[in-house]
Amino acid sequence: MKRVHYIDNYLINPQHPVTVNLIGAGGTGSQVLTCLARLDTALRGLGHPGLFITVYDSDIVTEANIGRQLFSPSDIGLNKAQCLVTRMNNFFGNDWKAIPDIYPAILKDARRDNLANITITCTDNIKSRLDLWNILKAVPESKYINYETPLYWMDFGNTQDTGQVILGTVPKKIRQPASKLYETVESLKVITRYVKYTRVKEKDSGPSCSLAEALEKQDLFINSTLAQLGCNILWKMFRNGMIEHHGLYLNLSTMKMNPIGV
């Protein structure tokens, strides 16, 4: 019997735009934000309230970002989050929010307005993922769901030409309907359950000084390819109300992709 995960009904029929926190607006984050804008437009065209995105990033645009990330020479010196959100708001007519700072690292610094229904991480360090999960799993579960209730966490990660996308559930269980056609799955593993980050010794590669140097670390299309594939999972969530896969592994050098079943 095929295994599927039915999306929390709150996201299918919300009374407001579904809230999304996008943490990181660099190589992958800039691409993901564009995909989310298209997803929002499609959802509203189907009668759904759409999305409300808040982007967190404390970095500024440098010359090395031009080309590999979605920035132009005129953006140099601007904060990445503010630059991208201003562009998306002007282009799509949205009122999304940019916070030119890092996401709170500890629970006592996180306010309720730092929470969202879906959290998407596009960061390049391990500690931020561990800190985020400590915050998300500490949020008390409640039968009452609103725009501040964290339900899903999607993480993007990559090396030079490989990467992965993992969508996990924040609550211990997402209530599933009875089904005679499928085996329903009420919990999806988050990235920190796939990778034991506490055992990994992290090295800071530092900022790149040029586009050529940046391309030695991450290939030109790894970020945009991951963004498209990952946001397609989100699209299936909203469009079909259920998903058969909650992530994938990608290798651009071999042109292979392996989906992760629920």
Question: Would you state the pLDDT for residue 77?
Answer: 98
Half-sphere exposure of 46 (CA within 13 A, CB side): 15
Half-sphere exposure of 239 (CA within 13 A, CB side): 11
Total domain count for the chain?
1
CATH number, position 96: 3.40.50.720
Question: Would you state the pLDDT for residue 205?
Answer: 46
Q: Structure tokens of 121?
A: 């991480």
- Whole-prediction pTM value? 0.92
What is the residue-level pLDDT of the chain in tens, covering all 262 positions?
A: 899 999 999 999 999 999 999 999 999 999 999 999 999 999 999 999 999 999 999 999 999 999 889 999 999 999 999 999 999 999 999 999 999 999 988 766 777 779 999 999 999 888 889 999 999 999 888 888 999 999 999 999 999 899 999 999 999 999 999 999 999 999 999 998 887 655 555 554 455 545 556 566 788 899 999 999 999 999 999 999 999 999 999 999 999 999 999 9
Instruction: Show the domain range for 121.
Output: 3-261
